[in-house]
Amino acid sequence: MDLRQMEYVLALADEQNFTRAASLCGVSQSGLSASIRALEEELGSELFARTTRRVEPTDAGLALLPHARELLLQARAGRDAVVRVTRTLSGQLRVGAEQCLGVVDVPELLERFHHRYPQVSIHFTQAGSYELLDMLRANELDAAFVATSDHLGSLTRTEIARKPFVLLCPPGHPLAGRGRVQWADLDGADVVDFHESWAVRAINDEVARARGFHRVVRCTVNDIHTLLDLVHRGLGVAMVPNSIAAKPQAAGLSVVPLPQQAGEWVVSVVTPTNGAASAAAVHLLELLPASVACGVPA
């Protein structure tokens, strides 16, 4: 049993798919599968129930998860202790992020960076993806966590994850409870959506244009919790990444799959042109892989 296996276990439990878990952990699917099988043989118990559609932790797997997370946290604490006494980094780190990206916990990442490099002054900005890209170009940010791969120009993008979109409906709505909606079902629908500075709005507008249906955006928001509240109150439906639909505040809403041609929620971290990233930004990105893949810092 080693730390890398613990990372694989957590990633597979979160993603419930070998291909996605392997991608997040930066390993081949065959390598991840072999490592999980070796761990199951070592422990003498099946950790995951495998079907053709998904992979779910068994009771034994569920029992292992908190210990796997704790092992990685303890390893992280040990590495941080060594870094604090062997490396010195000062100056500032200017970071921006769109709200509730879902696949990376930016506040936790900044906390980790602060513990490792306490002499660096952190400045954090929350805004829409397109506004954050403008700030990067204006040299007002060192790194930005965004949900778009468009309009980047010479900026450097490192993709973190992709998530599908779903439709959120209030209880009692004609589309609530459907197995899947068709694009024609959304023609003329009252919609709650984000401001144009949010990448999700651009994705939704492009999908509607490409698929030939017209949405009536009745409410425009700059806050995810307000969007969910307005949908709860029956003021419209919302096309959102499934990470938003999984939030506790979305409980009680009907989550309806969209056609396969729906847009994807592509989350990335963006820095200035190759070679121009600040030292602080480079060190921040060094903390990303295990944090993204398994929900705990590297």
Q: What is the DSSP code string of 167-188?
A: EEE-TT-TTTT-S---GGGGTT
**Are both 147 and 276 inside the same structural domain?**
yes
Q: Residues near 109 by Cβ (< 8 Å), separated by ≥ 6?
A: 284, 287, 288, 291, 297
Measure the N-to-C terminal CA separation of the chain; round to a whole number of Å.
18
Q: Are residues 144 and 290 in the same domain?
A: yes
Domain count, the chain: 3
Give the Cα separation of 229 and 226 in Å (integer). 5
pLDDT at 42: 92
Q: Taking a C-beta distance cutoff of 8 angstroms, is the pair 44, 1 a contact? A: no
**Amino acid 88: pLDDT:** 63
Q: What number of other Cβ atoms are within 10 A of residue 77's Cβ?
A: 11
In this predicted structure, the answer to whether residue 60 has a pLDDT above a threshold of 70 is: yes
Query: Is 257 in the same domain as 180?
Result: yes
Rounded CA-CA distance 115/61 in Å is 31
CATH number, domain of 167, equals 3.40.190.290
- Do the Cβ atoms of 31 and 21 come closer than 8 Å? no
Q: What is the pLDDT of residue 77?
A: 67
Look at residue 175 in the predicted model and tell me its pLDDT. 92
Retrieve residue 64's tokens: 């292992």
pLDDT given for residue 79 in this prediction? 66
Q: In the prediction, which pLDDT does 292 show?
A: 47
Domain span holding position 252: 163-264
Q: How confident is the model at residue 95 (pLDDT cuts 50, 70, 90)?
A: very high
Average pLDDT over residues 120-147: 90
- The pLDDT assigned to 298 comes to 33
Q: Answer yes or no: do 258 and 274 share one domain.
A: no
pTM: 0.62
38: confidence class by pLDDT, cuts 50, 70, 90: very high
Mean pLDDT over the full length of the chain: 85
